[in-house]
Amino acid sequence: MTSHAYTGLAAGIVSGARHIDTGTLALRSRHAASVLAALGVDQGERVALLLRNDFAFFEATQGAALLGASTVPLNWHLTADEADHILRDCEAKAMVVHADLFTPALQRVAGAVGVPTLVVDSPPELQAAYAGTPMQALFVDAPQPSAPSWDAALAAAKPWQASPVPIIGPMFYTSGTTGLPKGVQRSANVPPDVALAAQRRTLLAWGLAPQPGQPAPRAVMTGPLYHSAPNAYGMNVLRSGGLLVLQPRFDAAGLLALIEQHRITHLHMVPTMFVRLLQLPAAQRHRHDLSSLQHVVHGAAPCPADIKRRMIEWWGPVIGEYYAMTETGIITTSTSAQWLAHPGTVGCAAPGVQVRITDDHGIELPRGQAGEICLRTETTDHVSYHRADGKTAELRRDGFLRTGDVGHLTDDGFLFISDRKSDMVISGGVNIYPAEVEAVLLQMPGIHDAAVFGVADDEMGERVVAVIEATGLDAATVTAFLRERLAGYKLPRAMRFDMALPREDSGKVKKRLLRERWLESK
């Protein structure tokens, strides 16, 4: 193991061989504000961002904030029709897009919607990261967009000079697992003390709260900025005067090298990244000096207990966990020590959060009994769905917000999540939680990934099925492994083996897509 002190950029953003310091970023953001204002963006309006992790993402976000405008980060995996829905729904006044993502189909959408668009050149590190993948064709074959250049527009603009206005945070769209995506919006008149309380809770959960005598954080951004948690994490690292290293595309071995090279102290991850790190050969896993790590936090999806335990054994007690949702922010937090004492927990309610478990009628259930997880914070009354009053009403119940997750609280206040309420399978009148089956599947040698869900069954109502990414295994072998560890009624009644499971970059499996494929093949 070797150790190398990093003497490069102390504060700002690094991406491949490029870097930008915080002063230059702030100046370019003021130029960005002028550019967006010239396109008609005003206070309270929205700017769509179809960008991978790049400097322009931060420039546009901070530029919009200077105008009191909000950004709408778009998942760049969206189809043109899906992007069309969001652009119209949020009434975007402008869009900033990477050149390779501005496909002919999206160009037609932008023209039809009538949204002025600025194009960002796709940097070399992004092109290299996607070489050899289906995305490579976009870099090579896409015609050059005719829309104005982001860099040229900033160079021609004067820096914004107007006084700051109240900032409105980004509006993120839900993944649309139960219909069209919905924009999550927060009130523009949140009291300062309420906003400050929510901000403090977030910083504490992620280990980013300033500590006397401690240097600013040095972090690698491993997740896409179009997701709410990575977005907020990256912005908070920069606000704290820290260093943010953008990894163009998650690569387990590459992450270890970046941690050593930049003496990284903080990370935000999802469980699938842990799985890929642990799949590296032992010699490769222990080749790098990771002693700089102080706080590694993960969330977004359940983490199998065996995976979490192995990561703590490897990286030490620096791994924390949080449970949150875009609509509410942080709900619970857990340290390594708490998790080891309560394996499988997502922690206790964060400061200022009240958690309760309810039945289908909203009646609070006793400790130990599973039901829907609901919560209340000082921000509860300030969140809603954009242009979706009915969905907002469904979100609320007796002053609490419904998460849609199923779980239970222990007597000492530790929360355990069983599954998504929408994912729960009811077979023969019995509740089955796919997350439990998936966790056991991932313990089996040879299984790299797994998704369990329910499909309709004439006799039982629903039956459990599984799609598995594995090497050298068959259904009979997997079933025998499960039978030793799970009750018989929980076992998948059918299995399919696939090369790779479709996952969101947040780590969540696209189960709706898997279910559709399963039914189509019948």
User: Does residue 249 contact residue 122 with C-beta atoms inside 8 Å?
Assistant: no
* Amino acid found at 298: H
Residue 140 has pLDDT above 60, yes or no: no
Q: What CATH number corresponds to the domain at position 122?
A: 3.40.50.12780
Any domain includes 1:
no
For the chain, state the CA radius of gyration: 23
Spatial distance between the Cα atoms of 196 and 213, rounded to a whole number of angstroms: 22
8 Å CB contact between 247 and 125: no
Backbone angles phi and psi of 266, in degrees to 5: -135, 145
In this structure, are 275 and 414 located in the same domain? Answer: yes
Residues 476 and 408 in one domain: no
Residue 145 has pLDDT above 70, yes or no: no
Span 321-332, pLDDT tens digits: 999 988 889 999
pLDDT in tens, 77-133: 788 888 999 999 999 999 999 998 998 999 999 999 999 999 999 999 988 887 765
The rounded distance, in Å, linking the Cα atoms of 405 and 324 is 11
Single residue among 375, 405, 420 that ends a domain in this structure = 420
**Based on the domain organization, do 372 and 446 belong to the same domain?**
no
Sign of CA dihedral 276, 279, 284, 289: positive
Q: Which residue has the higher pLDDT, 379 or 34?
A: 34
pLDDT tens for residues 190-215?
888 888 898 999 999 999 998 888 89
Same domain, 103 and 139: yes
Q: Is residue 53 part of a domain?
A: yes
Cβ atoms of 99 and 120 closer than 8 Å:
yes
Nearest to 74 by CA among 227, 230, 248: 227
Q: Per the structure, how many domains does the chain have?
A: 3
Q: What is the DSSP code (8-state) at residue 91?
A: T
- For residue 6, is it within any domain? no
Q: Specify the pTM.
A: 0.82
pLDDT the model gives residue 139: 47
> Can you tell me the distance from the alpha carbon of 430 to that of 9, in angstroms, rounded to the nearest whole number?
57
Look at residue 495 and tell me whether its pLDDT is greater than 80. yes
What's the pLDDT score for residue 128? 86
CB atoms within 10 A of CB 254: 15
Q: What is the span of the domain harbouring residue 497? A: 425-520
- 443 versus 340: the higher-pLDDT residue is 340
* SS3 sequence of 326-368: CCCEEEEEECHHHHHHCCCCCEEECCCCEEEEECCCCCECCCC
Q: Are residues 210 and 118 in the same domain?
A: no
The verdict on 246 and 349 lying in the same domain is yes
Report if residue 297 sits inside a domain: yes
Q: Which residues pair with 118 in a beta bridge?
A: 96
pLDDT at 176 exceeding the cut of 70:
no
CA distance 85 to 342: 43
Mean pLDDT for all residues in the chain: 88
Q: Look at residue 75 and tell me whether its pLDDT is greater than 60.
A: yes
CATH number for position 501: 3.30.300.30
Contacts of 364 (CB under 8 A, 6+ apart): 356, 357, 358
Among 461, 409, 466, CA closest to 436: 466
List of long-range contacts for 416-422, beta carbons under 8 Å, 24+ apart: 416/344, 416/345, 416/346, 417/302, 417/323, 417/346, 417/373, 418/370, 421/372, 422/177, 422/178
